Amino acid sequence: MGNVSSGQFKTGMKVMIDGDPCNMVEVEFVKPGKGQAFTRVRLRNLMTGRIWERTFKSNESAETADVMDRDMEYLYSDGEMWHFMEPSTFEQYAADEKAVADCSQWLKEGDKVMITLFNDNPIAVTPPNFVELEVTETDPGLKGDTAQGGSKPATLSTGAVVRVPLFINQGEVLKIDTRTGEYVSRA
Amino acid sequence: MNRNQWQPTAEILTLRERASMLAAVRAFFAERGVMEVDTHCLSQAAVCDPFIDSLDVLFSSQPGADEQRYYLQSSPEYAMKRLLAADSGPIYQLAKAFRNGEIGRLHNPEFTMLEWYRPRFSAEQLMDEVQDLVTAVLGSQHWERLSYRNLFKRFVGLDPHQASIEELKALLAPHVECSFSDDRKDTWLELVMSHLIEPKLIEPMLVFDFPASQAALAEVVEDDQGVLVASRFELYAGGMELANGYQELRDPSEQAERLERDDGVRESLGLPRRPLETRLVSALESGIPACAGVALGFDRLLMIKVGASNIKEVIPFGFERC
């Protein structure tokens, strides 16, 4: 991979910092009228999730990281690895628990997800913003309670537990916002 | 070029504010008997500041004839001082200024600079006038004045004139990582200023007595603690640098030395070297009145006025659409 100089940094650029691939979350050009130019960058380490700030001088550069985001289909989990397929090439990728992390609770077979590849290995899995999942277990629904509010826990087919309104029944399919882990509506 | 991006980056309502601010500035100076001038954008000489890069253009007497390199002015400073030496009296200019490589939330490579010079004014009197002008445009606000030393003492708890590079680095460490090395103390002072102090200066703050090493074209004097300081001031507001003023250097040999010194810094840092403005030295030799001068970022002042967070919101067509 090549090098990129600080003047060319842009939000979303992936670079190697101290051996790890990092995403530039925010890039700001800092230049006192009479002083030197700096590039102040908010970075996210894609391996550890750590977010921090680093400032580069105008003649500094960074090595670009071979990181790309690809849309893939979730196939199955064998208990140890999660398997995904690139729909156009049928190429399969296996992601470990560290890469899948919290996303595992939203993964339904056949769903589209975004896989972040570093040197062709999955390092992160991002679920769609909304998923539709079936309720496998919850207390029986309370009729006539729709306007009252109030909520109860429900277990979904993937094992995720979310708060749902009291009127929801087992077997119903719900729309969930994966960013907040909250119930949105019946699907 | 993207043909779908024909629209302006500023709202028309903002451009109305811009027009009335231009009118307000002109009225302000007309009332005070300061003459408007409009000096050249193209010059045979470039700015000497090592950290300001000029854009250049090629002139030829006819298509295909020999080309001559001209530089787009990074500020009208040199030209206005040549006018002062020719007895212009007090002058101001709403100038287009150009700076290569400067693009960001607060920077557009082409911008509008309000610059003015006041013969027989002290830096302090000019700070008063800066305050009057900004008040005329933005309305009254809470103003403060602090020396560079006291500003650092208040916001980061150390004396910038005494602090070592190591102490400055330690201040930055909890906030931002800097893995480069630099043995120029000013680099670290600038980092502390721009990263830790400037963002907190929301209400207008006039800062004076800068380190002598950051004098640029200001006189250098001794402060009350016997430290050499630049008779230079800056206005900060809205978390950004808004204006930079000097008690102007008048000594031609000192001026010539600073041009050479800056050129030397350029050489040592591997920066492009440009023709120096030796006519400024000649102008000082012929004599210019004791004066103070200041340059204020007109677009940034408008940003504060309309509450914009990006400079392109106050310029009809920001850089990516120009």
pLDDT in tens, B77-108: 999 999 999 999 999 999 999 999 999 999 99
pLDDT score for A102: 86
Q: Is A34 on the interface with B (CB under 8 A)?
A: yes
Nearest chain A Cα to B199, which residue?
A30
Q: Mind telling me how many Å the CA of A10 is from chain B's nearest CA? A: 11
Chain B environment of A31 (Cβ under 8 Å):
51, 102, 104, 107
Stronger pLDDT, B3 or B125, i.e. the higher one: B125
Name the closest residue on chain B to residue A42, using Cα atoms: B176
Whether residue B178 and residue A28 make contact (CB cut-off 8 A), yes or no, is: no
Element containing residue B230 per DSSP (H, E): strand B228-237
Nearest CA in chain A to B103: A29
Percent of chain B residues topping a pLDDT of 70: 100
pLDDT at residue B256 above 60? yes
> In sequence order, what E strands does A46-127 have?
51-57, 61-64, 67-77, 82-85, 92-95, 112-118, 121-126
> Which residues of chain B have a CB within 8 Å of the CB of A24?
none
A76 inside 8 A of chain B by CB: no
Burial class (CB in 10 A: 0-12, 13-18, 19+), B254: middle
Contact by Cβ (8 Å): A32, A38:
no
Look at residues B321, B317, B308, B310 and name the one whose alpha carbon lies nearest to residue B17: B308
Q: Give the pTM.
A: 0.84
Tens digit of each residue's pLDDT (9 = 90 or more) over A117-161: 999 999 999 999 999 999 999 988 766 555 556 889 999 999 999
- The pLDDT, as a whole number, for residue A134 is 95
pLDDT of residue A17: 95
Question: In this complex, how many residue pairs, one in chain A and one in chain B, have their CB atoms less than 8 Å apart?
Answer: 65
In this structure, which amino acid lies at residue A150? G
The per-residue pLDDT for A151 is 87
Position A28 scores a pLDDT of 94
pLDDT band at residue B44 using 50, 70 and 90 as cut-offs: very high
Q: Which residues of A touch B182 (CB under 8 A)?
A: 57
The predicted complex's ipTM stands at 0.87
State which residue of chain B sits closest to A38, comparing Cα positions: B191
pLDDT at residue A142 in the model? 65
Q: Which residues of B touch A30 (CB under 8 A)?
A: 104, 194-195
Residue A147: predicted pLDDT? 55
For the record, the structure tokens of B291 come out as 């004066």
Residues of chain A with pLDDT under 50: none
Q: Is B76 in contact with B97 (CB distance < 8 Å)?
A: yes
Burial class (CB in 10 A: 0-12, 13-18, 19+), B4: exposed
A98 to chain B, closest Cα gap in Å: 27
> Domain map of chain B by residue range?
1-135+291-322
Q: B1-135+291-322, superfamily in CATH?
A: Bira Bifunctional Protein; Domain 2 (3.30.930.10)
Q: Do A30 and B195 touch (CB under 8 A)?
A: yes
Q: What rounded mean pLDDT belongs to chain A?
A: 91
Interface contact A55-B195, CB threshold 8 A? yes
| pLDDT score, position A59 | 81
Q: Is B39 helix (H, G, I), strand (E, B) or coil?
A: coil
Give B120's pLDDT tier (boundaries 50, 70, 90).
very high
Among residues of chain B, what percentage have pLDDT more than 90? Answer: 95
Distance in angstroms (rounded) separating the CA atoms of residues B235 and B285: 30
> Is B37 a residue whose pLDDT tops 90?
yes
User: Which domains occur in chain A, in start order?
Assistant: 3-64 (2.30.30.30), 67-126 (2.40.50.140), 130-186 (2.40.50.140)
Of A166, A165, A172, the closest CA to residue A187 belongs to A172
Only one residue has tokens 């023709």, namely B275
Contact A35 B216 (CB under 8 A): no
Q: Can you give the pLDDT at residue A148?
A: 59
Mean pLDDT, chain B, integer: 96
| Per-residue confidence (pLDDT) for residue A58, from 0 to 100 | 85
- pLDDT of amino acid B269: 87
Question: What mean pLDDT do residues B244-260 have?
Answer: 95
A29 closest CB neighbour out of B104, B178, B214: B104
DSSP B54: P
The count of other CB atoms within 10 Å of the CB of residue A20 is 16
Contacts 24+ apart (CB under 8 A), B218-225: B218/B246, B218/B247, B218/B248, B218/B249, B219/B246, B219/B247, B219/B248, B219/B249, B219/B250, B221/B247, B223/B147, B223/B149, B225/B149
